[in-house]
């Protein structure tokens, strides 16, 4: 239609009408593009709000689980450090307690539970991290992705740690016990170990393996778990600000 009228105006050498036809075409395309941009932007805003709320839910769950696990791992890390100090003469010599012997058994376990945030992973995979407009929140999310990678790579270090209970069963003697649970009604099954500081020190292979495990555990806590949890908490704080969410103090 517009093409036929344009051809006719050119044939008639009606340049004013040609110019009008031209602007109708160009203007139409321009308006079309603007409408499409605007509707894409509207869609991004809706997606942003939905994704941020989903992320908040996932983050709250992960943070609860992680704080629990980090608490346990930190406790074990401290016990393991004390045990290692005693064995290597960095702390006064004494017999090792059952908990200290057990920390040796668990010294190769670098476990931290579920860490992935599906909403964040989806944003990253589809290259849409940019729909998060808040600059601070956006960079906090990017940093969290880095911390997650660092956590994964320090956990891989676990492959270099030794299963001491399995390798030295005559020196670190493992038994299974039933303890009253703090969180459940019934009894909780646990692993407990007994060991003797002098016999550990006399075994050079075991001493070397304990040194290696302590080093790996330390790196896991220092470069993996702690920075990752701190970043999870930072992202949560930024999300609360962006979404205007307030938590009760006890949470």
Q: Which parts of this chain interact with Zn ion (CB under 5 A)?
A: 240, 245
Minimum distance, C-beta of residue 62 to Zn ion, in the bound complex (Å): 12
Minimum distance, C-beta of residue 68 to Zn ion, in the bound complex (Å): 17
Which residue's CB is nearer to Zn ion, number 55 or number 216?
55
Which residue's CB is nearer to Zn ion, number 47 or number 240?
240
What stretches of the chain adopt beta strand conformation (E)?
173-180, 187-194
Which residue's CB is nearer to Zn ion, number 59 or number 172?
59
Q: Looking at the DSSP assignment, which residues form a beta bridge with residue 160?
A: none
Minimum distance, C-beta of residue 59 to Zn ion, in the bound complex (Å): 7
Got the DSSP string for 52-116? HHHHHHHHHHHHHHHHHHHHHHHHHHHHHHHHHHHHTTSS---PPPHHHHHHHHTTT--------
Which residue's CB is nearer to Zn ion, number 180 or number 247?
247
Return the closest-CA partner of residue 231 out of 121, 113, 133, 137: 137
Residue nearest to Zn ion (CB): 240
Minimum distance, C-beta of residue 118 to Zn ion, in the bound complex (Å): 17
Q: How far apart are CA 76 and CA 87, in angstroms?
A: 16
């Amino acid at each position: 239609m517009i093409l036929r009228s344009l051809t006719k105006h050119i044939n008639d050498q009606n340049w004013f009408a040609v110019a009008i036809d031209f602007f109708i075409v160009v203007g139409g395309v321009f308006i079309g593009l603007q409408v499409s941009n605007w509707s894409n932007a509207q869609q991004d805003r809706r997606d942003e709000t939905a994704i941020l709320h989903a992320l908040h839910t996932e983050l709250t769950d992960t943070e609860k689980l992680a704080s629990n696990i980090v608490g346990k791992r930190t406790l074990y890390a401290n016990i393991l450090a004390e045990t290692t100090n005693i064995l290597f003469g960095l702390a006064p010599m004494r017999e090792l307690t059952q908990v200290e012997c057990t920390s040796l058994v668990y010294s190769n376990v670098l476990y931290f539970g579920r860490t992935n945030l599906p909403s964040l992973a989806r944003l990253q995979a589809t290259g849409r991290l940019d729909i998060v407009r808040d600059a601070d929140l956006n960079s906090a999310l990017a940093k969290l992705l880095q911390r997650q990678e660092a956590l994964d790579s320090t956990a891989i270090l676990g492959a270099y740690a030794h299963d001491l209970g399995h390798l030295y069963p005559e020196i670190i003697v493992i038994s299974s016990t039933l303890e009253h649970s703090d969180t459940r009604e019934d009894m909780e099954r646990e692993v407990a170990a007994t060991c003797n500081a002098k016999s550990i020190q006399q075994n050079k292979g075991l001493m070397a393996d304990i040194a290696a495990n302590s080093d790996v555990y330390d790196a896991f806590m220092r470069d993996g778990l702690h920075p990752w949890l701190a970043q999870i908490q930072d992202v949560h704080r930024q999300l609360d600000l962006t979404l205007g969410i307030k938590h009760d103090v006890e949470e």
